[in-house]
Amino acid sequence: MKHLEIELKTLLKKEDYIKLKEYFSDITPITQNNYYLDTCDYKLRSNKIAMRIRTFEDSAELTIKIPQAVGNMEYNQALTLEEAKKCLEECKLPQGMILEELSNRGVSPSGWLVLGCLTTVRYEKETSIGLMALDQSTYFDVVDYELELEVENGDQGSLDFQEFLQANDIEYKKAPSKLVRFIENMKKS
């Protein structure tokens, strides 16, 4: 599956996260483990491609994200938990759309490393302004909090997101992607 993802996000203070959990009180959170992959010389990162295997309780997916003029083109390939485990243990990608897309971009199908795992507890719900996700992520010795809004229209979404933050008295704080935050902290640890 391939789709254009237009996402707005802000990092949150812990107290804002706790306050926003009220808004999601009817939602059961989902835990997802994000295993980031790249080559030892960061071939994907240098090509601005992010790749992860995300595992859930009973399924998994392999994803690459490639920046566009607006948003990211996201490619998702469904995996079973067994397939995901095998990919992570052998550092080998399964046949399919992701491998083809990387090959088309001249990225070698081998030489992968698992950089590590970032675990997110996510509350997600459809709202009048878009798909909203409240995340608590844990990696290395870091815990951070983030609010994301996935929208169809970037300009309108940006206005709606700012309004939502103001209405909830939340200060906007630029949020680099989870992968970028992960790598910055990997270098420190």
Q: Domain-by-domain residue ranges, the chain?
A: 2-187
Q: Rounded to two decimals, what is the model's pTM? A: 0.92
State the architecture of 2-187 in CATH terms.
Beta Barrel (2.40)
Whose structure tokens read 């995901």?
84
pLDDT, tens digit only, all 189 positions of the chain: 899 999 999 999 999 999 999 999 999 999 999 999 999 889 999 999 999 999 999 999 999 999 999 999 999 999 999 999 999 999 999 999 999 999 999 888 788 999 999 999 999 999 999 999 999 999 999 999 999 999 999 999 999 999 999 999 999 999 999 999 999 999 887
| The two structure tokens encoding residue 187 | 């270098």
Contact 160, 149 (CB under 8 A): yes
